[in-house]
Amino acid sequence: AAHDWVLFVDADERVSPGLAAEIADLANRGDLGRFNAYHIQRVHLFSGRWVPDPSTRKVTPRLRELIRRTEMPRLLDRRVAVWVRPLHEELRVPEPRGVLDGIIYHYGMSNLSSFLESLNFYTDLEAAYLHQTRRRCGLFEAGFRGVRSFVFHYFVRGLWRFGEHGLLLALLLGFTKFLDYAKLSERLRVEAGQGAWTARDLAVVRHYSDLVVAGQDESAG
């Protein structure tokens, strides 16, 4: 990056006009440095509906606290930020951290086919990442983590408020977490030679392990 302050967005995300104006105003007034980083809420276009709906969104103290707890810092002073992991990126930035009123639009789950197309790749990648430090995992743990993820998203993050769409999204997020650990369990059995595995199975394990290592090298560099 050419500047100290960085706004981190993915390729399937877009900055809202209100957020762009909010950031520009802070920069023009010289107030960005009041905080080391800022949390920004994402709204997701999921199966034909925005979750949450930006047209009815109200910025309240309760919402700000939720954003702080659930959203990774997106606008940050890179001089004090540290990447914790290169996959499903996580940043560690010391306090103080603020919350912006604007939003980021996320289009990566706009229909179920798009969601499922990326599901296999990212769960393989996450399993390979977990495999670096985990040497035990079974389907019971995978199931527990999947259920816990569903409960967290549906009840704690409030997806219950969005009717059928919220229920479907929470179920899919729980299933994603289940697959992360079910694939980890499978990788561990492949590594231990437990079962009948084809050359293709072994190649898949090596491929995603190599991607994880390459991603960590790139992040470190």
Q: What is the pLDDT of residue 219?
A: 60
Q: Which of 138, 125, 115, 130 is nearest to 186 (CA)?
A: 138
Q: Tens of pLDDT along the chain (221 residues)?
A: 889 999 999 999 999 999 999 999 999 999 999 999 999 999 999 999 999 999 999 999 999 999 999 899 999 999 999 987 656 678 899 999 999 999 999 999 999 999 999 999 999 999 999 999 999 999 999 999 999 999 999 998 889 999 999 999 999 999 999 999 999 999 999 999 999 999 999 999 999 999 888 877 666 65
- In degrees and rounded to multiples of 5, residue 135 shows phi and psi of -120, 0
Count CB-CB contacts under 10 A for residue 151: 12
Q: What is the pLDDT of residue 87?
A: 64
Q: What is the pLDDT of residue 212?
A: 87
Q: Which residues contact 126 (CB under 8 A, 6 or more apart)?
A: 87, 88, 180, 183
Q: pTM for the complete prediction?
A: 0.89
Give percent helix, percent strand, percent coil of the chain, each to the nearest 5: 55, 20, 30
